[in-house]
């Protein structure tokens, strides 16, 4: 069953129905309820002959901290649904879940639901869920859902309700994050997404939580570039596990005491996937092998951080100092006596760079280091082992006197589009859907424009005192570049990833549904449309008469810029 979230769910991020509660249970007065009632009316003293004081105190404590019933959820990943004729992998997976874990409260899918992120694949996956499974399914995007998508998060959100979730139960919350990057393979959790995560963790008030996203963190392959910011945040809260996918294998390892668990890729009917039983005190991981028809207990994690030996608080920061041409690293409470690996900007350093290792200090010789910011990490005792201690820090090498840094700012989201310059302003589109205008001299804010929930991949274009850009939400937007005020918006057929251009008297732009459009710059009226076989991602070239562009259908086109008439089409081979 797939449920489109209500408005409350969208904004409060979901408290699903709890299948643990049995609505058919007859209404009976439990002795805890009875004691609570008489205590609340001041009659408890009259019952000392029936309930001794110690028993009454014990019952009161039980009532204050009731032991939750056991409940289950299932974690799968990487079904890679496509539009082919074969049975959908999601359907096969869910059929096995129904058989093996009928007691589960809900299911989470940590991404790569589709092979390409195309709308027809998303539709097929959603249909498989609706037709096969009668429990809530919470899905997030993986790199396959984002890398070749024609409509980005817009298409995913329209079918699966959201791109991040909070599923809160009595004694545990599962929080799912968006770590996808549109049109890219790797993973990244935007600063705005981490702010959202911390807001949700604060609301839990110390309740145990699991965090889920697609790419496994702190992996030797460095799929994710947000490990430092993420684990510095998680260290301050009662987070017992991170759930992921991507590698198509069931695995588990620890990072700074937090368990990382990946599910197998259920695109294969042989894949081993995960099921969690949440008891009053522990989260117990089981793995399901459909081929062997086996369920095996893997590990158990206490919900109480003290029982895990965890102290919630700031993560020790790696300190760095440059002394006589060598970088000295130290962490206040870290010991490297058992060994250490070092990574610089996600790349494992050659051991010859380790000049000296002491239990508390590390000396590095970093040759030919260009100016700029670097992330450095130490991993003890070694990268890739089952229990790792990661510490992060930053190295900054100042530019020489010939290069002057005028200013530097951090925006709440990543940037994948080219900025535009208008007079004394630089205008920047971000992955949060916000367009920022900053003063080129100081970096101070001039104005902001929120285009919606989806990333701006279409770079802003300035022409005759107007600014134009496209949105994933299927619109072309025109703003006053001086003030950021909206002049017009024009709905188009398909998400806009490509950057527009002016050709003659028209604004030209391609869409995710394969339309090349000519719009009137003054009001957004569509003058002509030309259809191709797939996504148009790039800006066309213009020679004064014709437009030249390629599309994801493997063809290259020449079209008259004034009329949209086809000049020629060539099949391209690679």
* Each residue's pLDDT expressed in tens, for the chain with a length of 574 residues: 655 444 444 434 433 333 322 323 322 333 333 333 433 334 333 333 333 444 434 434 444 556 678 999 999 999 999 967 788 999 999 999 999 999 999 999 999 999 999 999 999 999 999 999 999 999 999 999 999 999 989 999 999 999 999 999 999 999 999 999 998 999 999 999 999 999 999 999 999 999 999 999 999 999 999 999 999 999 999 999 999 999 999 999 999 999 999 999 999 999 999 999 999 999 999 999 999 999 999 999 999 999 999 999 999 889 888 887 788 888 877 778 788 899 999 999 876 666 566 667 788 877 778 888 899 999 999 999 999 999 999 998 888 777 788 899 999 999 999 999 999 999 999 999 999 999 999 999 999 999 987 899 999 999 999 999 999 999 999 999 999 999 999 999 999 999 999 999 999 999 999 999 999 999 999 999 999 999 999 999 999 999 999 999 999 999 999 999 999 999 997 6
Instruction: Give the domain-ending residue among 280, 308, 336.
Output: 308
Q: Is residue 409 part of a domain?
A: no
Same domain membership, residue 325 and residue 287: no
Distances (CA, A) of 536 to 114, 179, 572: 20, 25, 15
pLDDT of residue 63: 47
Q: Is residue 403 part of a domain?
A: no
Same domain membership, residue 46 and residue 59: yes
pLDDT of residue 43: 36
pTM, rounded to two decimals: 0.85
Same domain membership, residue 213 and residue 87: yes
Question: What is the number of structural domains in the chain?
Answer: 4
Q: Is residue 24 part of a domain?
A: no
Which CATH number covers residue 300?
A: 3.60.21.10
Same domain membership, residue 84 and residue 43: no
Same domain membership, residue 262 and residue 129: yes
Q: End-to-end CA distance of the chain: give it in Å, rounded.
A: 42
pLDDT of residue 58: 40
Structure tokens belonging to residue 229 = 């910011």
Distance CA 381, CA 401 (A): 40
Instruction: Give the domain-ending residue among 21, 43, 64.
Output: 64
Q: Any bridge partners for residue 449, and if so which?
A: 435
Q: Is residue 25 part of a domain?
A: no
pLDDT of residue 1: 63
Distance CA 317, CA 164 (A): 29
Same domain membership, residue 79 and residue 54: no
Q: Which helix (H) or strand (E) covers residue 243, if one does?
A: strand 239-244
pLDDT of residue 330: 84
Domain extent, residue 37, equals 31-64
Q: Is residue 9 part of a domain?
A: no
Which CATH number covers residue 501?
A: 2.130.10.10
Q: Any bridge partners for residue 547, and if so which?
A: 542, 559
pLDDT of residue 356: 61
Q: Is residue 11 part of a domain?
A: no
Q: Give Cβ neighbours of residue 191 (< 8 Å, ≥ 6 apart).
A: 229, 410, 411, 412, 413
Question: What angle is formed at CA 466 by the lines to CA 464 and CA 472, rounded to 5 degrees?
Answer: 135
Q: Is residue 105 part of a domain?
A: yes
pLDDT of residue 2: 56
Instruction: Give the domain-ending residue among 262, 289, 308.
Output: 308
Same domain membership, residue 256 and residue 133: yes
Q: Is residue 411 part of a domain?
A: no
Which CATH number covers residue 326?
A: 2.60.40
Same domain membership, residue 171 and residue 128: yes
Same domain membership, residue 323 and residue 297: no
Same domain membership, residue 344 and residue 250: no
Same domain membership, residue 356 and residue 392: yes
Same domain membership, residue 120 and residue 157: yes
């Amino acid at each position: 069953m797939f449920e489109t979230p209500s408005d409350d769910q969208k904004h409060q991020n979901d408290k699903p129905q709890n299948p643990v509660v049995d609505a058919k249970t007859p209404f009976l007065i439990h002795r805890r309820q009875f004691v609570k009632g008489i205590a609340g009316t001041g009659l408890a003293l009259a019952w000392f002959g029936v309930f001794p004081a110690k028993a009454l105190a014990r019952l009161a404590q039980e009532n204050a901290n009731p032991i939750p019933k056991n409940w289950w959820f299932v974690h799968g990943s990487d079904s890679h649904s496509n539009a082919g004729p074969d049975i959908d992998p999601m359907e096969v997976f869910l059929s096995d879940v129904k058989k093996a874990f009928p007691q589960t409260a809900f299911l989470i899918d940590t991404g790569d639901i589709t092979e390409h992120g195309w709308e027809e694949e998303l539709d097929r996956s959603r249909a498989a869920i609706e037709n096969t499974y009668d429990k809530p399914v919470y899905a997030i995007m993986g790199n396959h859902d984002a890398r070749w998508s024609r409509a980005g998060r817009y298409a995913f959100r329209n079918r699966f309700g959201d791109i991040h979730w909070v599923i809160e139960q009595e004694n545990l919350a599962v929080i799912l994050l968006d770590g996808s990057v549109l049109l890219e393979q790797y993973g990244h959790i935007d600063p705005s997404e981490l702010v959202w995560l911390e807001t949700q963790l604060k609301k839990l008030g110390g309740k145990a939580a699991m965090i889920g996203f697609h790419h496994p963190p702190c992996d030797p392959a460095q799929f994710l570039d947000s490990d430092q910011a993420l684990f510095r945040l998680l260290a301050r809260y009662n987070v017992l596990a991170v759930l992921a996918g991507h590698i198509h294998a069931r695995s588990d390892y620890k990072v700074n005491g937090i368990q990382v668990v990946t599910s197998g890729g259920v695109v294969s009917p042989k894949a081993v996937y995960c099921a969690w039983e949440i008891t009053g005190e522990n989260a117990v991981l089981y793995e399901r092998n459909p081929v062997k028809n086996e369920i095996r207990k893997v590990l158990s994690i206490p919900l109480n951080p003290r029982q895990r030996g965890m102290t919630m608080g700031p993560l020790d920061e790696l300190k760095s100092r440059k002394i006589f041409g060598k970088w000295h690293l130290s962490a206040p409470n870290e010991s490297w006596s058992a060994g250490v690996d070092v990574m610089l900007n996600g790349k494992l350093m050659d051991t010859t760079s380790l000049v000296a290792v002491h239990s508390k200090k590390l000396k590095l010789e970093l040759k030919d280091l260009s100016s700029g910011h670097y992330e450095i990490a130490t991993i003890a005792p070694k990268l890739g082992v089952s229990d790792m201690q990661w510490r992060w820090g930053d190295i900054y090498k100042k530019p020489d006197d010939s290069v002057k840094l005028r200013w530097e700012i951090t925006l709440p989201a990543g940037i994948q589009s080219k900025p535009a310059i208008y007079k004394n302003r630089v205008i920047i589109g971000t992955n949060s859907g916000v367009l920022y205008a900053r003063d080129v001299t100081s970096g101070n804010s001039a104005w902001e424009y929120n285009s919606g929930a989806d990333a701006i991949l279409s770079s802003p274009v300035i022409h005759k005192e107007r600014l134009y850009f496209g949105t994933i939400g299927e619109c072309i937007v025109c703003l006053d570049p001086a003030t950021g005020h909206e002049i017009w918006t024009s709905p188009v057929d398909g998400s806009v990833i490509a950057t527009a251009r002016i050709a003659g008297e028209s604004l030209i732009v391609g869409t995710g549904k394969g339309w090349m459009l000519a719009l009137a710059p003054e009001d957004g009226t569509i003058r002509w449309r030309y259809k191709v076989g797939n996504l148009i991602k790039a800006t066309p070239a213009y020679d004064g008469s014709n437009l030249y562009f390629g599309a994801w259908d493997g063809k290259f086109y020449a079209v008259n810029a004034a009329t949209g008439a086809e000049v020629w089409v060539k099949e391209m081979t690679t």
